[in-house]
Structure 1
């Protein structure tokens, strides 16, 4: 994510929105793709396009940005092969272009502009949680620690990636957009030594 992008993910994507055909997965291989995707406004654009195809005007209205700015971002994303025009529609004397993603999931690695992306994701999520209104909607956060081998941590990562993709594939309905974020990372948290009974 976040955009709905999963770093270093493997395996198959999931079906669901948007309202246009697209590939399941695109692996980012070019530095220009990283520069295009890892910018806040462009990340918001590709995230919105998971719901449905949209015009420059629609995106500008939702994001509260000028159409020219959104047009520039769409051009950068299109040149990187991350979005393209999926259909057009005649509106009065003009032809409206509807943009969509080129893939449901963008796979990336910790390189170029994606270095530190995990911290950015968790930071943005933390800010959003701080702005969430306590009006009876679902709001939850938790942290647990476990001393496990690397292989088990990798298994947990894949299970959590699958859960995020399942969440993202939920049909759009209801007035509220919820976020699901997770973090799995090594810590410097000290551990108690083995108890004398375990020796």
Structure 2
């Protein structure tokens, strides 16, 4: 891992809302999300990315092209190596998101576009080794309070994204806020109890 304190080593926007079906499709592939994750650390060439994910360079070049055409990746610098110009790719933004409607250009996110499902798969080995840190809590809140709370969580997410890439191990960080859509037990209002 790099110990570069500037993460990543190129300029990028803070966040980018996915507004087209092409962008939604581009980010819904597991290999492409892995490539985007690697580019949080620093800009990289197709050759470097292919080596990191242990896939053929042609496969990675295809996926980089899909991300670049969707506006999620861009060439951030070039370097001349012999007679070839080597391109270094970087993310267009630290964070990509689809608004609460979960669709772009009228196209809904694929059903497998669930960060918690991905996190559950990734974290299973850590769970088996007793190295998973996590919790789940429930609270009755107004939509306004939930939005305020998420804003604070969003700041922590951005802090995590900006951490210098160092150390020997990659850590996953999953967080979410969701309304309970089934019947979750709720205590009666104390006022109602006193009146009865």
- Please classify the TM superposition score into its range, dividing by the shorter chain length: 0.7 to 0.9
Residue 174 (structure 1) aligned to one of 167, 172, 183: 167
What is the count of residue pairs matched by the alignment? 183
Q: Which moved more, 1:142-151 or 1:99-108?
A: 99-108
Partner residue in 1 for 2:155: 162
SS of aligned partner of 1:177:
coil
Give yes or no for contact 1:25–1:105 (8 Å, CA) kept in 2.
yes
- Name the CA shift for 1:76/1:168 in 2 (closer, same or farther; >3 Å): same
**1:152 Cα deviation from its structure 2 partner:** 1.1
Give yes or no for contact 1:56–1:71 (8 Å, CA) kept in 2.
yes
Residue 114 (structure 1) aligned to one of 109, 113, 132: 109
Give yes or no for contact 1:50–1:101 (8 Å, CA) kept in 2.
yes
Supply the distance in 1 between the matched residues of 2:7 and 2:108 (Cα, whole angstroms).
27
Q: Does 1:130 align with 2:124?
A: yes
- Name the CA shift for 1:66/1:142 in 2 (closer, same or farther; >3 Å): same
Partner residue in 1 for 2:76: 86
Residue 191 (structure 1) aligned to one of 165, 186, 194: 186
TM-score normalized by the length of structure 1: 0.81
What whole-Å deviation, never above 9, does each CA across 1:123-158 have from its counterpart, x for those lacking one? Answer: 11111221127778x631111111121211111111
Give yes or no for contact 1:38–1:113 (8 Å, CA) kept in 2.
no
Q: Which moved more, 1:86-95 or 1:33-42?
A: 86-95
Partner residue in 1 for 2:16: 26
Supply the distance in 1 between the matched residues of 2:119 and 2:178 (Cα, whole angstroms).
16
Supply the distance in 2 between the matched residues of 1:185 and 1:86 (Cα, whole angstroms).
36
Give yes or no for contact 2:46–2:57 (8 Å, CA) kept in 1.
yes
Q: CA RMSD in A?
A: 2.4
Q: Runs of 5+ in structure 2 lacking a partner?
A: 1-5
SS of aligned partner of 2:165:
coil
What whole-Å deviation, never above 9, does each CA across 1:27-84 have from its counterpart, x for those lacking one? Answer: 2222211111221111111121111111111111111211111000111111111112
Partner residue in 2 for 1:150: 143
Supply the distance in 2 between the matched residues of 1:186 and 1:133 (Cα, whole angstroms).
26
